[in-house]
Chains A and B, each alone.
Chain A
Amino acid sequence: MTASMISLDRSASAKTSDNRLTNAKSDSCKSSSCGSTAKPDDMDPATWEKIKDHPCYSEEAHHYFARMHVAVAPACNIQCNYCNRKYDCANESRPGVVSEKLTPEQALRKVISVANEVPQLSVVGIAGPGDACYDWRRTKATFEKVAAEIPDVKLCISTNGLALPDHVDELARMNVDHVTITINMVDPQIGAKIYPWVFYNHRRYTGIEAAEILHKRQMLGLEMLAARGILVKVNSVMIPGVNDEHLIEVNRWVKERGAFLHNVMPLISDPAHGTYYGLTGQRAPRAIELKALQGRLEKGAKLMRHCRQCRADAVGLLGEDRGKEFTLDHIPDAVSYDERNREAYREVVARERGNHAAAKSEAIEMVKAAGPDGSLHVAVATKGGGRINEHFGHAKEFQIYEASPRGIAFVGHRKVEQYCRGGWGDDATLDGVIVALEGIDIVLCAKIGDCPKKRLADAGIRAVDSYTYEYIETAISMVYATEFGVDLLTGTA
């Protein structure tokens, strides 16, 4: 199999001969960009090597690479007020939720099937539904099996941190480069409002005492990981009135102790989920409150803005979940790993991301040079690969960018209900999409029908489908230039 047979398109099967790269007009390598890398200037090469294929740790990588979570660790040693592990709903997308718990053997079968079918796969993670470090025997058995079959896949875990210090050495030995710790407080008074109990040293602790133990173990684990050069992402759940202001201090603490990324996520507290917070009416933060807090944290540990709070059994690129295609009943009893698809895909990406990086910096320079003090909020429909390649009606989320004299910045994503299903669009759904796109000036997509286009226009949002297959940043820079009436430098496309 040759590299040219692999598509960057997430939905294309690896076996397709339809080469979208050629359509994407990037195969002709620009002499200026050959050999360039996508490494940001302010990052050392060793760190870049660790994160460059990890969709959660690198915003750039999330356009190209996919993760999968295997739900092998259902047991947990603490209780969080936002978690109810009994609940599962196939339409629900949130951490801790799974449809199917796996044994390590079943997990290996699933990983191999996904690796064969989804060449974008680069990370296998264990994120519950319980705690990966507490349920250590299953976590370890799974990692050992996967590493033996697919040595180049990255392994990562999520943990509440309580049992983490006991396993740091083994994590290092197993080449686990990435660990996510959920840290919601550094003040046990606040912790007592989030955690009703912890189970530690064979007994249950409650109240401040419980939060103190958890806090000490989290800080110890973080320091131990940082000392071994393992990258740590800290996840914090923003709970209005409980820890929202406090997260500024959490950010400072974790930055001082070497956390690589800080990811602030909104509380999910739907009463239907049966969590303590859901049942007691604790509200979730509004999108604008989350954005404001992230803005205030900007100077601390580096923030992650592309988290999708995915299910503990999610499969695929971050904006999608193909988990349902890979449940055990869809997987043959005997599977064998075929490395060709993934290898071919990686070759394509290596070439492609150099071109993308060059196009991106060119586009950003252009927007900066354009000079006016205009600002544009752009929503992009994409299937991955960093390009505008998704139909408006097929998008389940839009990636949001802001273009201003400071350049082009990714600010996050907004989930929507898919508007077009099997050829017909539903008006009520379109209303919902329009609400979700509040504040957006322009939507960039591969294609859009006249009717939704007009409805968007009535709501003050312009939809543009003339940049199909173009790089996201390049298209934004062109729109920006048109918008603010500046002449573009020639030779950009």
Chain B
Amino acid sequence: MAFKIIASQCTQCGACEFECPSGAIELKGENYVIDPKKCTECEGAFETQQCASVCPVPKTCVPA
């Protein structure tokens, strides 16, 4: 299982990138994207998905 970023809503603030414990988020060109192979949904690391918890825009970091 993995999370994804809805690119059209993202403000490119980059907070999710440095909060992600799995290093799954990267800026690719204009957009931040989550690598589904690396995303662990923060299982074992934190209680909540870090990207979704820090993202300023509702429903932007969501289950893929």
Contact = CB atoms under 8 A, between A and B. Distances in A.
A76 interface: yes
Given A203-B46, A203-B47, A75 B15 contact: yes
Interface residues of B, number: 15
Interface string B48-60: 1010011011000
Contacts of B47: 202-203
A338 B56 CA distance: 41
Contacts of A77: 15, 54
Given A202-B46, A203-B46, A204-B48, A85 B53 contact: no
B8 to A, nearest CB: 11
A85 B56 contact: yes
A298 B47 CA distance: 47
A137 interface: yes
A137 B18 contact: yes
Given A86-B11, A130-B13, A203-B47, A75 B18 contact: yes
B48 A203 contact: yes
B18 A76 contact: no
Interface string A190-215: 00000000010011100000000000
A204 B54 contact: yes
Interface string A108-141: 0000000000000000000001100011010000
A137 B15 CA distance: 12
B13 A74 contact: yes
Contacts of B12: 74, 101
A79 interface: yes
Contacts of B11: 74, 85-86
A203 B14 CA distance: 17
Contacts of A74: 11-14
Contacts of A203: 46-48, 53
Interface string B5-19: 000000111110011
A166 to B, nearest CB: 14
Given A86-B57, A199-B54, A203-B53, A75 B48 contact: no
A85 B13 contact: yes
Contacts of B18: 75, 137
Contacts of A76: 13, 15, 56
B56 to A, nearest CB: 6
Interface string B35-54: 00000000000111010011
B46 A75 contact: no
Nearest to A130: B13
A74 B19 CA distance: 14
Nearest to B50: A202
A165 B57 CA distance: 26
Interface of A: 74-77, 79, 85-86, 101, 129-130, 134-135, 137, 199, 202-204
Interface of B: 11-15, 18-19, 46-48, 50, 53-54, 56-57
Given A74-B11, A76-B13, 7 more contacts: A75-B18, A86-B11, A129-B13, A134-B15, A202-B47, A203-B47, A204-B48
